[in-house]
Amino acid sequence: MDQQTLIHFRRTLHQYPEVANEEYQTAQRVVDFLKEFPPHQLLEQVGGTGIVATYESDHPGKHILIRCELDALPIAEINDFAYKSTIEGKGHKCGHDGHMTMVAGLAPKLLDLPKGKVSLLFQPAEETGEGALQMLQDPQFAQIKPDYAFALHNMPGHPLHTILVKTDTFCAASKGMIVQLKGKTSHAAEPQNGISPALAMAEIVQMLDSLPHMLAFEDFTLVTVVHALLGEVAFGVAPGDAEVRATLRTFANADMDKLTQATEQKAEEIAQKYGLNITIDYTEQFAATVNDAQSVEVIKKVAESNKFSVTEMEQPNKWSEDFGQFIAQVPGALFGVGSGEHHPQLHNPDYDFPDELLETGINMFWGIIQELL
């Protein structure tokens, strides 16, 4: 496909970003693009706004799933180029516009598959950790049944076009923990008539910060307190409510289970100590992305055949990616593509996906498809 066509498509997506579970126009633009290269089956509204376009041969063979993400971020763009975001407070600050273009750019190549099947999957709500499970749990997805699944993510800080691989954990597991404490408000002049959660909140913050160092974990474990709220801004009122929010992060799923259980138990003990009611909820939950060794070898082989430099990562990425939900079901792998050593970092307001990577991603995915078929 003509490179300028791909760049135009990517920049159009960039201009009209939509955040998690709101990707209606984005999905329609993808569908319109794919209809120029009609798949044998086109599923829409899978898990919300998700799309699965399946191309198949008359000859049997493996079924390969290639996945990308539809959503942008609630981050205002500060770039001033012609195709900057037109939506206030929202921007493609993770490169999902580029990932979509790479996957859509495979469509012309798939019209004459020699054998097997390829499904191009466009997933909503990656940034919140919801989209992969939403698609997997949609009854429409039951008919896909892939044998392998692959995805990529651009990675600033690494040389342009470098392919980054790692067997086992590629991205960390994480979840947002919300601890709510309920006591009893009172007049600030008579705090003894109420039940203040202030000391419990302080103790819970300290506990969360120190817990990874107090217990034995298999690998990297981190708790980051991201928000705390006590009562209201009212000097005549002793508080009766408090909330603490923290991000739990581990490289191993087993460690996440252990960390979750320990934080819940200790928070409940602290609440009980101060006579408080407690509720604990979770949001933005990501399983670790655990790569299959054979699939990583395929990625390396394809990268080398395309004369791309390959870097084997020593440590997983500390950020999370919900593609792990797919490769918990079937063999596969997530790999990285370097987007420049001095390129703005992901989730920064000045970030923009490098168009030079579009052909790199398409060549990698096409090579993986050819190798496995």
Per-residue confidence band for 1, with pLDDT thresholds at 50, 70 and 90: confident
Closest CA to 87 of 31, 23, 131, 29: 23
Task: Mark whether 299 and 251 lie in a shared domain.
Answer: no
| pLDDT digits 0-9 by tens, 194-227 | 999 999 999 999 999 999 999 999 999 999 999 9
Contacts of 190 (CB under 8 A, 6+ apart): 238
Look at residue 346 and tell me whether its pLDDT is greater than 80. Answer: yes
Q: Quote the CA–CA distance of 347 and 72 in Å, as a whole number.
A: 10
Task: Mark whether 128 and 192 lie in a shared domain.
Answer: no
Q: Which domain holds residue 14?
A: 3-168+289-372
312 forms beta bridges with 165
| pLDDT digits 0-9 by tens, 311-339 | 999 999 999 999 999 999 999 999 999 99
Single residue among 285, 312, 335 that ends a domain in this structure: 285
Neighbours of 366 (CB within 10 A): 18
Task: Mark whether 238 and 306 lie in a shared domain.
Answer: no
Task: Mark whether 51 and 198 lie in a shared domain.
Answer: no
- The CATH number covering residue 140 comes to 3.40.630.10
Per-residue confidence band for 54, with pLDDT thresholds at 50, 70 and 90: very high
Q: Check: CB of residue 361 under 8 Å from CB of residue 325.
A: no
Look at residue 294 and tell me whether its pLDDT is greater than 90. Answer: yes
pLDDT for position 124: 98
Task: Mark whether 152 and 191 lie in a shared domain.
Answer: no
- The CATH number covering residue 247 comes to 3.30.70.360
Residue ranges of E strands in the chain: 41-46, 50-56, 63-69, 117-123, 148-155, 163-165, 168-171, 173-182, 186-187, 221-230, 237-238, 241-250, 277-286, 289-291, 310-312, 332-338
| pLDDT digits 0-9 by tens, 155-193 | 999 999 999 999 999 999 999 999 999 999 999 999 999
Q: Model-level pTM?
A: 0.94
Mean pLDDT over 45-50 rounds to 98
Single residue among 227, 258, 285 that ends a domain in this structure: 285
Task: Mark whether 205 and 108 lie in a shared domain.
Answer: no
Task: Mark whether 294 and 276 lie in a shared domain.
Answer: no
Task: Mark whether 153 and 182 lie in a shared domain.
Answer: no
Single residue among 234, 265, 285 that ends a domain in this structure: 285
Which residue, chain included where needed, has tokens 């006579």?
275
| pLDDT digits 0-9 by tens, 226-255 | 999 999 999 999 999 999 999 999 999 999
Task: Mark whether 71 and 15 lie in a shared domain.
Answer: yes
Q: Check: CB of residue 323 under 8 Å from CB of residue 133.
A: no
Mean pLDDT over 119-131 rounds to 98
Specify the number of domains making up the chain.
2
Average pLDDT over the chain, rounded to whole?
A: 97
Task: Mark whether 141 and 101 lie in a shared domain.
Answer: yes
Task: Mark whether 14 and 102 lie in a shared domain.
Answer: yes
Which residue, chain included where needed, has tokens 């698609």?
135
Task: Mark whether 19 and 141 lie in a shared domain.
Answer: yes
